[in-house]
Amino acid sequence: MNNSITIAVDAMGGDGSPKKIVMGVYDHSKKNTNTFYRLFGNKNEIVKYLPKALSSNRYEITHTEAKVEGTDTPLGGAKRGKETSMWLSIESVKQKKSDIVISAGNTGALLVIAKLNLKMIENIDKPALSGLWPSKKGMSVVLDLGANIECNDKNLIDFSVMGSSLFKSLFPEEKPKVALLNIGSEELKGNEVLKNTYQKLNQINNKDFEFKGFIEGSHLMDGDVNVIVADGFTGNVALKTAEGTANFITGELRKAMTSSVLGKFSSFLNFRNLKKFKKRLDPRYYNGAIFLGLDSPVVKSHGGTDYIGFSNSLGVCERIIKGDLIEKIKSNIT
C-alpha cells in the first residue's frame, strides 16, 4: 500500500477487550484503506471477533497471553514484564515497525512503559496528556490532563507549543490560538507560575500560534481559543467536571423526554435535533488522548468506550501521522 500507515494496537486494554478493539479496527478499516494494523494480545481471543470481511493483508497478530490489568499501579503494570500486549505494542513503535501506538488500557502504566521505551523530544522536560474537547466553533486541544501534577513556566510554554503542533496536525486549515486556564482572565490573576508563563508567552514571537492570554473555566467551550493549557491537576479536574456535566445534561434530558406522554411526543417531534445534540456531547466522537513530548506518538483511548469510540481514536492516530506531529513539535520547540 502506498503511503500506508501502520498502527500498533494493544488489543487487550480496556473494558470489553479484545472484542471492542477488533470491532473498532474493522470499523476504521472500512473507511481507511491505507492503514495496516499490528494487533498485540491473545490470538485465540482476538480471532474469535475478526470479521471475515477484514482482509488478512490488513492486519498482523502478535500473540501474547500477558497483559496489563486495569487495577495495576503504573509501576506494577510495567513490572509485569516485556511480554505484555501493552509493552510489545509500544516496542513496535520504538523499533520503527509501526508509526504510532494506541491502547485503551491502564493510563498510568501506558505512560510509564512509554517513557521506559521511548526517548523524550530534545528540550522537553515533561510529557503532557492532551485531549480533544468540543466547542461552539469546532474542537479544542486541552493539556495537560493529568500526567504532571506540578508544572513550572517552562513546562507550560512547552505544552503551548506541543498543543499547538497537535492542533495544527489535526486541523491544518486553522490557526492555533493558545490560552492558559486560570481563575480569571485578568493579567494579575493566578499563581506566580501562571503569571510568569503569561509574561513569557506574551514576549514569544511564535508564528505557529497566537497567544490569547488567560481563560476561565466557564469559557472553555466558547471556541474563541482552541488550545487550552494547564498543569495536570487543574486540567484533570476540568476534564472530569466537563464529562460529569455532559453526562448529567444528557441523562436529565433523556428522563424528561421519556417520563410522560407529552415528553415522548415532544422527543418524537424533535428527534433529529435531539440526535444532533446528543452526538455533540457524546465522548465517543472525540475519543483519543495523546501523550505529547515523546519522540514517537502514543494515543490513549478511553478504557470504557465502545468500538465506535475506539474506531474514532484510530482516526485520530491516522490524522496525527498524516499531520507529521512529531516533526512539527521538534521544529517549534526551543
The mean pLDDT values, 10 residues at a time, for the chain of 334 residues are: 83 93 95 94 96 92 95 93 96 96 94 94 92 87 90 95 93 92 84 93 82 91 92 87 74 67 54 56 70 94 89 93 92 81
Given this model, what pLDDT does residue 268 score?
52
Domains of the chain: 1-120+293-323 (3.40.718.10), 125-292 (3.40.718.10)
In our burial notation (b when 16+ CB lie closer than 10 A, e otherwise), range 182-199 reads: beeeeeeebeebbbbbbe
Given this model, what pLDDT does residue 127 score?
92
- Measured CA angle at 118 (ends 58, 230), to 5 deg: 105
Cell of 121: 523530544
Closest by Cα among 197, 94, 113, 91 to 154: 197
**Residue 233: C-alpha distances to residues 126, 145, 150, 238 (Å):** 14, 7, 7, 9
Residue 111 CA to residue 120 CA, distance in Å, equals: 12
Given this model, what pLDDT does residue 32 score?
87
Closest by Cα among 190, 301, 182, 179 to 238: 182
Residue 157 CA to residue 326 CA, distance in Å, equals: 17
Residue 320 CA to residue 299 CA, distance in Å, equals: 10
Kindly tell me the burial class for residue 271, based on how many C-beta atoms sit within 10 Å of its own C-beta (0-12, 13-18, 19 or more): exposed
Given this model, what pLDDT does residue 1 score?
44
